[in-house]
Chains A and B, each alone.
Chain A
Amino acid sequence: EDQVTQSPEALRLQEGESSSLNCSYTVSGLRGLFWYRQDPGKGPEFLFTLYSAGEEKEKERLKATLTKKESFLHITAPKPEDSATYLCAVQAEVTGGGNKLTFGTGTQLKVEL
């Protein structure tokens, strides 16, 4: 069974204080690893997809990396508007094309002035 574990559960940073969020996964064969951002009362907002170990993607202050067992979301010099819950999800290689996502419970990030 596919499994995703995110840590820490919650993280409080000062503005400008860089840090990393972790996503450990087990999957029979990885088709893709997804990062989403979720604000209170809203649906998950797509950030990145990573497909193979060694791959990196960047968007503004966020950078996602992938190994064979885990992914990191690095946040450089965060701002208060980066406060949100960050979700990690995996999609497995499945015969027949099943595309379901398996999610972790998320990391709740709070960036303070």
Chain B
Amino acid sequence: EAGVTQFPSHSVIEKGQTVTLRCDPISGHDNLYWYRRVMGKEIKFLLHFVKESKQDESGMPNNRFLAERTGGTYSTLKVQPAELEDSGVYFCASSFSRADQDTQYFGPGTRLTVL
């Protein structure tokens, strides 16, 4: 079974440009999460989808970040316009909803560098 996949693996853009990251969750997983690690810091939560609905977007840093999950399958995270402090590794994770547990499986990440 394929794991969580993310595209691209790396992206280098200029300040002010737009970048779109994509995440394909494990087939059948209704929960999809976005996390981010900036240099030297811990991995931090950005937002959580249940199917196509945003369950929790409390970690989104500002309105330059827009996440979508049309149709409840893959998700995109757009940063527009990008700023220097947006550099970091963006991870996607997915899980299958169960009342008693929620094990999140992570993708390999997208390394974003804003120059």
Q: Decide yes or no: A97 and B55 within 8 Å by CB, A44-B91, A103-B42, A104-B42 being known contacts.
A: yes
**Size bracket of the A interface:** 20 to 34
**A32 CB contacts on chain B under 8 angstroms:** 101-102
Q: Kindly state whether residue B95 has any CB partner on chain A within 8 Å.
A: yes
Q: Are A102 and B45 in contact (CB under 8 A)?
A: yes
**A106 CB contacts on chain B under 8 angstroms:** 42
Interface size on B, residues (CB 8 A): 27
Q: Which of A45-62 contact B (CB under 8 A)?
A: 45-46, 49, 51
Q: Are B4 and A43 in contact (CB under 8 A)?
A: yes
A-B Cβ contacts below 8 A, count:
65
Cα–Cα distance between A43 and B105 once the two chains are bound (Å): 9
Q: Kindly state whether residue A105 has any CB partner on chain B within 8 Å.
A: yes
B18 to chain A, nearest CB (A): 24
Q: Kindly state whether residue A108 has any CB partner on chain B within 8 Å.
A: no
Q: Which of A4-62 contact B (CB under 8 A)?
A: 4, 31-32, 34, 36, 41-46, 49, 51
Q: Are B106 and A98 in contact (CB under 8 A)?
A: no
Q: Are A46 and B56 in contact (CB under 8 A)?
A: no
Cα–Cα distance between A29 and B43 once the two chains are bound (Å): 21
Chain A residue at minimum C-beta to C-beta distance from B47: A100
Chain A residue at minimum C-beta to C-beta distance from B105: A46
Cα–Cα distance between A106 and B101 once the two chains are bound (Å): 23
B75 to chain A, nearest CB (A): 15
Given contacts A96-B55, A99-B55, 5 further A-B contacts (CB under 8 A): A43-B106, A43-B107, A43-B108, A43-B109, A46-B104
11 interchain pairs, CB-CB under 8 A: A42-B108, A43-B91, A44-B91, A45-B106, A51-B101, A98-B48, A99-B104, A101-B104, A104-B42, A105-B42, A106-B42
